Structure 1
């Protein structure tokens, strides 16, 4: 049965991007799955590192479908630009192959439960014995040790335990998860940061080290000023809905045909807003002239603004606010995000050809480099597609590779 036609089918194929050369000297062994670890490894792959995605042969891993369909949007977006090697690490022959790969690698990234790598024989001490320069990056749910170390970690659990769900949502409605996997994605970004620090330090010492982060730590760090608010002031941050915790008016306002974000961050911007709404009498009103006064009278501020903004369209308000320098912006659904001219200008969406789905468009790296930018050049490889080439790279001959395949090791 053929797949339904999409808008991409009618579009001309995009010219092939040139691979990035920023990190071509690095080899990364990617043992990760789901999201946090793949997010980390994707950064290195997009900047030109040789990232080898290592996964179990079919039928070995009972949870191999956890990440979704291989040709699905999530897998395609997370695992582009990587080579694929199947390897059964539960077999001694598979472990031997992996350790031989470690001898040629710079970084190993894993997000097993903390005890799994020791049981498999691929903990940091074992890897360091084979290659003292190796960097092991471990991403867990709750840390490599401690009372919760062996618990399974998932993004929503970390959002709850890290405080995010009680500072998100409308007051009184109960805890609310963020609409994206923020703990997973942040853990991946922190892991990549740790790896880059360890690589730079290795230039000095000549030695690798063990980089560790967790979903829980990363979620708490992402809460940032809200976490500091409690630690320093002893205040437990409440849910504020769409309002900023202390700036007013900063939040969502309804217009005649939708909603916009309004962001008045200072007293000068408040006066500019009063000009835009043709209410100069409010600019120096004793209840609203300063930020503390507006915060104290937040409900009154919104009560004044709500009927004013409801009388005109979003597009009109955005034009009027921009004219006087008041920060504001549209609130997009995802289709509108990618239709925005600034998003198109930033080249956030990048396309590659796929052997079964045709041209697929993925989310590019949000980092610009003037000489060695990231590039999306290849879709997720078929499982095990690069076994022969990868093993030949580290000295296996064709007969040895055939034997490993016959024995179910690869």
Structure 2
């Protein structure tokens, strides 16, 4: 066959880097993330999902601790690390090296937001504390996350999620009544602190629009968990009675808990008297609906010990899925207690786009949770995989003005990766 010459191709239009493509609500915002583990990285990921350019700073030795928190591993890094570090760029430098420390201080001077979760005082010793940065950059919004906050007699104590759950009282109300206190199944103190920090950062950014001044957002794991006591603390303030553990049950609503059935457990939430009547009728206990012991929610709370065995006896007649169908038809709030794999396959979870996929250069296809923030005009988007250790060091330092020779010198003495 004769050769047909190809039409010359027009050179492709250069594409902007992926962290600048998404027109998110926070596009144009630059965040310097000095944090590690969970609370700070979760906070900065929330901002990154909304379009902020987040630069994650790690050491040159092993990086963020969670890179090694496995198995399971995906590529060189643990799944734990991948879960909270997407949409970020990564730089690996040794902050003990004076040259690298100055470069990170320069980066701090260019950032709109700084997130750190060192022990109080550590950032200041590095010349990266709030007062250090503010003196050069008065518009910076600086978020510090620690175990106990920047003030108070415990401020220098280390911060751990489980300790915050314990000290805050949250653990005392978690678990079965006759059993020991139980740690929550995920890490609520860390995750809540990250959320509180993101809220504080956004509020400070809003205020900066009017004043031109940044401010210090001081978040503690303990404060966040105490705030989450909410109605539990309210009940104590009102009555003076120390809250107890109720297992899956609610302290002030009955029936509102998991019940055993013929083949598994089912969560029921009859949150008012009308729902109680529909529930009682649907499970064959219609006679109890107007029983004076159970007619109103306060009655049912007072007579909880008499009512619950009757409900359990009725529900053991059928399996959990069968009851779920019957109670849903009766318009009673009910749900199966899914395992994690079942929850991640739930049709509503899928329909809401809560599972995303990313291509990682080492790990291949990564499945990750998407953002729950559904903004109609500028939704949160999963754009780029978590950075490999030191992946963007050259790119970020070059943009800061570091030439090839200087960068090579930093790498030669292992001050930068």
Contact 1:102-1:130 within 8 A present in 2 as well: no
Q: Is 1:31 aligned to residue 43 of structure 2?
A: no
Match of 2:79 among 58, 73, 76: 73
Q: Is 1:105 aligned to residue 108 of structure 2?
A: no
In structure 1, the partner of 2:328 is 322
TM superposition shift of 1:398: 2.5
TM superposition shift of 1:98: 1.2
Match of 1:135 among 130, 141, 146: 141
- State the SS of the aligned residue for 1:54: strand
Distance, in Å, in 2 between the alignment partners of 1:150 and 1:255 is 49
| Unmatched runs of 5 consecutive residues or more in structure 2 | 1-17
Match of 1:82 among 78, 82, 88: 88
Q: Is 1:405 aligned to residue 408 of structure 2?
A: no
Alignment of 1:137-152 (within 5 A): 137-152=143-158
Q: Is 1:227 aligned to residue 230 of structure 2?
A: no
In structure 1, the partner of 2:9 is none
Contact 1:33-1:67 within 8 A present in 2 as well: no
Cα-to-partner distance string for 1:190-249 (whole Å, 9 max, x where unaligned):
001000001010000101111110111111111211122223432211111121101111
Q: Is 1:394 aligned to residue 400 of structure 2?
A: yes
Contact 1:169-1:176 within 8 A present in 2 as well: yes
Q: Is 1:21 aligned to residue 31 of structure 2?
A: no
Distance, in Å, in 2 between the alignment partners of 1:336 and 1:62 is 30
In structure 2, the partner of 1:166 is 172
TM superposition shift of 1:101: 1.0
TM superposition shift of 1:395: 2.4
Cα-to-partner distance string for 1:49-106 (whole Å, 9 max, x where unaligned):
11001011126x8968675566211100111111011122222212210121122210
- State the SS of the aligned residue for 1:379: coil
Q: Closer, same or farther in 2 for the Cα pair 1:153/1:286, shift >3 Å?
A: same
Contact 1:20-1:375 within 8 A present in 2 as well: no
Contact 2:172-2:244 within 8 A present in 1 as well: yes
TM superposition shift of 1:19: 3.6
Distance, in Å, in 2 between the alignment partners of 1:58 and 1:64 is 13
Q: Closer, same or farther in 2 for the Cα pair 1:315/1:65, shift >3 Å?
A: closer
Distance, in Å, in 2 between the alignment partners of 1:64 and 1:323 is 45
Moved more, 271-280 or 364-373: 271-280
In structure 2, the partner of 1:245 is 251
Number of residues of Structure 1 aligned to a counterpart in Structure 2: 394
In structure 2, the partner of 1:272 is 278
Match of 2:213 among 200, 207, 216: 207
Normalised TM-score (structure 1): 0.92
| Unmatched runs of 5 consecutive residues or more in structure 1 | 1-15
Normalised TM-score (structure 2): 0.90
TM superposition shift of 1:293: 1.0
Q: CA RMSD for the aligned pairs?
A: 1.9
Distance, in Å, in 1 between the alignment partners of 2:304 and 2:192 is 32
Contact 1:243-1:250 within 8 A present in 2 as well: yes
Distance, in Å, in 2 between the alignment partners of 1:64 and 1:324 is 46
- State the SS of the aligned residue for 1:322: helix
Q: Is 1:281 aligned to residue 287 of structure 2?
A: yes
In structure 1, the partner of 2:302 is 296
Contact 1:141-1:158 within 8 A present in 2 as well: yes
- State the SS of the aligned residue for 1:114: coil
In structure 1, the partner of 2:14 is none
